[in-house]
Amino acid sequence: MIENLAACWALTAAFGTVGLAHLRGLVPGTPVVQRVGEVAHVAMCGAMIAMLWPWGGWLPSWPQVVLFACAGAWFTAHGLVIVVSGEPALRVAAVPASHALGMFAMVWMLVAAGTGAHHPGGPGSAGPAWPVSFPASVLGLGSLVVAGWWLVKALRRDPAGRVAPDLSLAGHAVLNGGMAVMLLAMR
């Protein structure tokens, strides 16, 4: 998917770091809703690392498609529950909606790769066998917008006017930014 070896290593480090951060979120006492999200994000980071390298092409894609489709449905349902419960819907439901978008983008990448549209072989891989430019562009640009949204949330100011970075939210920005790079590389 990505031809540049340095970019593959940089994305591997970024996804690995974010994946470890989400793994840390699985401490005892964490609410079930959050645990499901943490597991989905750890799986997403692992799958995106695998897509970067030739050995990732050997992993079966359909179990991953099922996993990420279920995770996308989970986040969609979570967002709908928030809306129905009467919480400030747009602000609060945007979080699971952004996660659902990422999970469904994973499904699309895996299906496109699994059909031979693009071999997820990393450096030296073949180009697309069928046109994936439009959906890859739309999903890539969407991921870039979501990455920017997470970055703005991560760099909020505290009441004293100082930037108080939230590393958890910054991790979501990194994950979405990396996904944007991988999607745009499929074009």
**Token digits of residue 42:** 């750890």
Report d(CA 61, CA 81) in Å as an integer: 30
Give residue 162's pLDDT. Answer: 85
- Kindly tell me the burial class for residue 126, based on how many C-beta atoms sit within 10 Å of its own C-beta (0-12, 13-18, 19 or more): exposed
User: Mean pLDDT in the chain?
Assistant: 86
Sign, CA torsion 40/46/63/28: negative
**Token digits of residue 77:** 């349902």
- Tell which wins on pLDDT, 115 or 143: 143
Could you list the residue range(s) of the whole structural domain that residue 179 is in?
A: 5-185
Report d(CA 48, CA 102) in Å as an integer: 11
Give residue 143's pLDDT. Answer: 95
pLDDT above 90 covers what percent of the chain? 57
Q: What is the pTM of this model?
A: 0.85
Structural domains counted in the chain: 1
pLDDT, tens only, 98-136? 999 999 999 999 998 875 544 444 443 444 444 567 888
pLDDT, tens only, 45-66? 999 999 999 999 899 999 999 9
Residues 138-164, mean pLDDT to the nearest whole number: 90
**Range with the poorest average pLDDT among 75-79, 170-174, 183-187:** 183-187
Give residue 43's pLDDT. Answer: 96
Residues 68-74, mean pLDDT to the nearest whole number: 97
- Kindly tell me the burial class for residue 86, based on how many C-beta atoms sit within 10 Å of its own C-beta (0-12, 13-18, 19 or more): exposed
Residues 74-83, mean pLDDT to the nearest whole number: 89
Max CA distance (Å), the chain: 54
Report d(CA 146, CA 142) in Å as an integer: 6
Nearest to 69 by CA among 98, 95, 43, 107: 107
Report d(CA 48, CA 44) in Å as an integer: 6
